[in-house]
Structure 1
């Protein structure tokens, strides 16, 4: 871009996290998905079908 400076963003990505098994398994009408992060960060948890198509975003926020 001419005449504009690009903003440099530095985002630290956590290196330690845990995504626990969904329960109950097999899933009935509802399920619980637990996850742990070592520090506050942006979390995006999205469900995909077997074809790789996005079904639903469960969360996209800062926690």
Structure 2
């Protein structure tokens, strides 16, 4: 399955999926084990998800044009 993802999306986009592992680990720890989630964990998860969205091309920032 991962090799098919590499073939279709490319290696750079396929690698970004591995960055989401800690986010899901914290989520499953909270859901299944009753672990406490702090504001710091949520902030870090937000940074990770935003980074993955930007690097995978899911979200694009507007380009600034230089004044001529």
TM above 0.5, one fold?
no
Structure possessing the higher relative contact order (Cα contacts under 8 Å, 6 or more residues apart) = 2
| Greater strand share, structure number | 1
TM range (shorter): under 0.3
Structure of higher CA gyration radius: 1
| Greater share of residues in helix | 2
